[in-house]
Amino acid sequence: MATTLAFVTCDAAIDHSLLDGLFTAAVEESYNMITVDGHTSTNDTALIMANGLAGNAEIMPGTAEAELFGEALKTLMLAMARAVVRDGEGATKFVTIRVGQAESATAARTIAFAIANSPLVKTALFGQDPNWGRILSAAGMAGPDFDPDRSDLMINHTYIFSQGNPVMLSRREMMALMAPKEIDIELNLFTGGHSAVVYTSDLSYDYVKINAEYHT
């Protein structure tokens, strides 16, 4: 993924420290939760500017206005971040990775990114191969402990693996789950109460072609 620059401007009058905190939280749940190929840039930047020209009473911490502004900002930033994934080099699918019931927020995030960045998972997504083994293998190598015999895995809200066993679906049914342009993968670990959501894309022939033919 190339250098990503995100600029947000508004005319709201808002406390500086509040704006900084709300923006940091919004970035954490959006741009910091996307990956196309796992390769980030040292120059990635997200910034926000508010000139106060709206003439509103200054938005202060702990107010209803601060909550509304924060939620609107998160919605905007998430839409922008998801657009980056959709525009990924050679991307043909938009994929949401949900890891739930993990022992910690860090564990959930680590496992979700391990799945999202796995070349074997990403190529299976492109080939519409419902390979649950690749997903669980990527989760297993991430580091945090979990027991596959207690875990559930769903693709587009259909169970394909549950409590240590694959769900008996026909190959046609399995491949149909992978056909849509938007794929939702959900892994529940049953080791705690934490979750994470990461957005990614598949890895296609065009990704290799674009990057192989690109010359500086």
| Active site members | 3
Torsion of CA 25, 27, 33, 36, to 10 degrees: 180
CA distance linking residue 129 with residue 99, whole number of Å: 20
DSSP H helices in the chain: 16-28, 64-86, 105-117, 119-126, 132-140, 171-178, 205-213
- The total number of residues written for the chain in this structure: 216
Measured distance CA(129)–CA(134) in Å, rounded: 10
Coil, helix or strand at residue 14: strand
Spatial distance between the Cα atoms of 162 and 144, rounded to a whole number of angstroms: 19
Helix (H, G, I), strand (E, B) or coil at 187: strand
Residue 151 contacts residue 161 (beta carbons within 8 Å): yes
